[in-house]
Amino acid sequence: MQSSGIENNIARHRGIQWDDKVSPYLFILPATVVFCLFVLYPLIYNFKIGFYKWDGINPVMQFIGFDNYITAIKDTAVHKALKNSAVWFFTTVFIQATLGLFMAVVLGKGIRGATLFRSIILIPVALAPALTATIFRIMLEPSFGQINEFLRGIGLSSLAKNWLADPGLALWCVIIVNIWIWTGFSMVMYQAGLQAIPEELYEAAVLDGANPWQQFSRLTFPLLKGTHASLLILGAIGTLKTFDIVYLMTAGGPFHASQMPSNYIFTKSFLESKFGYGSALSVLLLLVSLLVTVIQLRLYKKWRS
């Protein structure tokens, strides 16, 4: 009897040890499997085919080492896409944030119809980008589009342009549409941030003699740094992911004037059947994304401290 009790204890003890060691892994097993199947494996596979010349369908893949990467580094379209991304990021993040903050502050002052204005400003966020892009493409059509018709109608014919056909204007047109879409989102983010600032701080500032500008610049703006950082990170992610409105409005043209990395990768991989090159470009984009993320996280930590 005694010996069987000891054996039971040992068995139970083993069970406890096994349970303690294995249970945590079992809990994360489903997520790990999903991650490995849908993130890690495609990532490794993508990395692998970046070293091959491959059209994406034929079983034969020709190993070419770093040729795809060397081609990418020399490719002027890649340079253009990266430059456009930088322009896109700095312009959209700055303008969207400025407009969003302005609207959030003004509409937060309890003016009449604020809820209606907020809803209107937020509508573009809810619209499908495919729809928005198509409507703007029609509006920007040079001969019969509403924008040029309007300009001609008010006597500003000289300002009527070939908006999407002009290499100097195409990117800016798409950027403006993007700003139109996402400003409402920035406004909502800032509105949430503003609501988190205690009213007492403003009362104290008023007692200390702070005017409205000083209240904004020394209280509101610094206390919204969490929101600024979030918008910055989301802006960077959005820039690197940008595809749909560019594809539908300009397809990256004319001749790469509005080219963005995701569009170029899509074009090379699927339309020109250069999967190996497209994969190498994806790896480079991933590296750029990692770099941007590291810089942003460091800035974020610095701001928080």
Partner 1 sequence: MEKKYLTRRDFLRLSGMVIGGVALTRCAPVATQTPPPAMEEATQPPASPSTVTLEVNGWKYQAGRDSQKLVFEALERDLQGIKLEVTGASTSDWYVQIKSRFQSGDVPDVVLMEPGAGLREYSPLLLPLDDYIAKTPEVQEDKYFPSAWKEAQVGGKVMGLPGFLGVQSPWYNATIFEKLGVEKPPANYDELKEVAKACRDGGFLPFLVGGKDGWHRLDAIQHVIHSFAPGKLYEAEAGSLSFNDPDFVAAFEVWGEMFANGVFQDGAIGMSAYPDCWDLFVQGKAGMINMGSWATSELLPGLTEGITDRYMPMFFPDLSGSGKKVATSGVDQLYCIPKDAGLPDESWKVIAWMTQNDIKYTNDSGALPSRLEGVWPDILSNAQDQNQLEEIKKFYMDALNIATRRQLIYPELRSGLEEVSAAVASGQMTAQQAVEKLDEVSQGIERS
Site residues, partner 1 (CB under 8 A) = 11-12, 14-16, 18-19, 22-23, 26, 55-60, 137-138, 140-144, 162-167, 170, 250-251, 253-255, 257, 270-273
**8 Cβ contact partners less than 8 Å away, ≥ 6 residues apart:** none
Q: Which residue, chain included where needed, has tokens 């470009």?
A: 281
The nearer residue to partner 1, 1 or 57, going by C-beta atoms, is 57
Cα–Cα distance measured from residue 188 to residue 190, given in angstroms and rounded to the nearest whole number: 5
Q: How many CB atoms lie within 10 A of CB 208?
A: 8
The nearer residue to partner 1, 163 or 182, going by C-beta atoms, is 163
Cα–Cα distance measured from residue 74 to residue 21, given in angstroms and rounded to the nearest whole number: 51
- Burial code of 224-241, b = ≥16 C-beta within 10 A, e = fewer? beebbbbbbbbbbebbbe
The nearer residue to partner 1, 67 or 215, going by C-beta atoms, is 67
Closest CB 165 distance from partner 1, rounded Å: 3
The nearer residue to partner 1, 21 or 302, going by C-beta atoms, is 21
Closest CB 260 distance from partner 1, rounded Å: 15
Cα→Cα distances 285→55, 69, 265, 281, Å: 20, 12, 9, 6
The nearer residue to partner 1, 246 or 283, going by C-beta atoms, is 246
The nearer residue to partner 1, 71 or 215, going by C-beta atoms, is 71
The nearer residue to partner 1, 153 or 212, going by C-beta atoms, is 153
Closest CB 48 distance from partner 1, rounded Å: 14
- 82 torsion bin: left (phi>0), alpha (psi -120 to 50), beta (else): alpha
Closest CB 244 distance from partner 1, rounded Å: 13
Closest CB 73 distance from partner 1, rounded Å: 17
Closest CB 138 distance from partner 1, rounded Å: 8
**276 Cβ contact partners less than 8 Å away, ≥ 6 residues apart:** 49, 50, 51, 52, 53, 54, 61, 64, 68
Helical (H) or strand (E) element with 35: helix 2-35
Cα–Cα distance measured from residue 215 to residue 221, given in angstroms and rounded to the nearest whole number: 9
Helix axes 146-153, 129-139, angle to 10 degrees: 40
Task: Please provide the size of the chain in residues.
Answer: 305
Closest CB 124 distance from partner 1, rounded Å: 22
Say if CB 175 and CB 91 are below 8 A apart.
yes
Closest CB 112 distance from partner 1, rounded Å: 42
Say if CB 68 and CB 51 are below 8 A apart.
yes
The nearer residue to partner 1, 108 or 142, going by C-beta atoms, is 142
